[in-house]
Amino acid sequence: MEMVTDISISWILIFIFVGFIAGYIDSIAGGGGMIQVPVLLYSGIPPIFVLATNKMAGMFGALMATIKYSSSKKVNWRVVSIAIIPCLLASYLGSSLVMYIPEYIIQWAILISIAIGMIALFKKSKHLKEENTELTNKNIVLATAPIGFYDGLLGPGTGTYLTISMKKFLHLDFLVSTASTKPLNFATNFGSVVAFFFAGKILWTVALPMALANIIGSYVGSHYAIKGGEGFIKKILVLVLVSMLFANILKMIF
């Protein structure tokens, strides 16, 4: 089994800061993994450990966001109750599969997913046509389970993709869509964590401080999300994504 050692205190402090920012942004607009994953990769941690560690940290951030949104009665629990088990199982399947994929493919796939996520963030701000669509069990599962599989396979941008899907295909209010992704994101992260835990791929010295930072960031972010202010955070997220995307491309080239 490959091992990872020599994580410096400086990198741990960077991970804590990044974990806070990721938890904050993820609770508002999704996409926290698109910040955490590039930074973890840039530190030199192998991609499979990056995916596992990111899931462990993100799981706790999603749990805190779920608690905050739920207390404000913004979560559509009917949608969540139908989608949560398919999403969890799909995520577990994705994480079980990704451990058999070569690392260089994972790294390139992560970079591509970040670019797609950036495009999705821009599209998310557009007003989508509202329709009176019945929330059937089939529609709910089709709108969420494939993204759960993606979350287990790669992960970055899952919260954003879930929000877009719920708004576009289930026609939920934007804030309700954002809130309802959090328990589903917790479930998909949990499914991945189970798979990665038994495979010994979680880097605990990084995952635990990042998880604590995610919790704090998510608490603060979800508080402001309920009041508004998504536009400013989206601009910050795009700037961070562009910077980290180029940094990782340069790292792979040189």
Highest mean pLDDT among 128-142, 195-209, 224-238: 195-209
pLDDT at 57 over 80: yes
* pLDDT at site 242: 72
How far are the Cα atoms of 118, 125, 160 from residue 234, in angstroms, in the given order?
Answer: 10, 9, 11
Average pLDDT, the chain: 83
pLDDT at 125 over 50: no
Domain that holds residue 212: 9-253
Q: HSE on the CB side for 159, CA within 13 Å?
A: 33
* pLDDT at site 115: 73
pLDDT at 46 over 80: yes
* pLDDT at site 89: 94
Q: Which residues contact 114 (CB under 8 A, 6 or more apart)?
A: 34, 37, 38, 156, 157, 241, 244, 245
Which percentage of the chain shows pLDDT scores above 90?
42
Q: 206: pLDDT confidence band, cut at 50, 70 and 90?
A: very high
Judge contact between 66 and 190, C-beta under 8 A: no
The number of folded domains in the chain is 1
Least confident residue range of 30-39, 82-91, 135-144: 30-39
Report the 10 Å Cβ neighbour count for 248.
19
* pLDDT at site 126: 47
pLDDT at 220 over 90: yes
Question: Does some domain include residue 227?
Answer: yes
* pLDDT at site 106: 78
Question: Does some domain include residue 4?
Answer: no
Judge contact between 155 and 51, C-beta under 8 A: yes
Question: Does some domain include residue 96?
Answer: yes
How far are the Cα atoms of 21, 43, 92, 233 from residue 211, in angstroms, in the given order?
Answer: 12, 18, 20, 21
Q: 130: pLDDT confidence band, cut at 50, 70 and 90?
A: very low
CA distance 118 to 85: 28
Highest mean pLDDT among 84-93, 115-124, 221-230, 233-242: 84-93
CA distance 122 to 143: 20
Question: Does some domain include residue 36?
Answer: yes
Question: Does some domain include residue 116?
Answer: yes
Judge contact between 217 and 23, C-beta under 8 A: yes
* pLDDT at site 19: 95
Closest CA to 118 of 18, 249, 237: 237
Question: In the predicted model, what is the mean pLDDT of residues 107-117?
Answer: 74
pLDDT at 246 over 90: no
Q: What is the pLDDT of residues 189-202, one digit of tens each?
A: 998 899 999 999 99
* pLDDT at site 240: 59
* Single pTM value for the model: 0.79
Question: Does some domain include residue 161?
Answer: yes
* pLDDT at site 185: 92
Higher pLDDT, residue 24 or 110: 24
Question: Does some domain include residue 3?
Answer: no
Question: Does some domain include residue 1?
Answer: no
Which tokens sit at 12? 């741990």
Question: In the predicted model, what is the mean pLDDT of residues 116-135?
Answer: 56
Q: Which amino acid is at 214?
A: N
In angstroms, how far is the first alpha carbon of the chain from the final one? Answer: 27
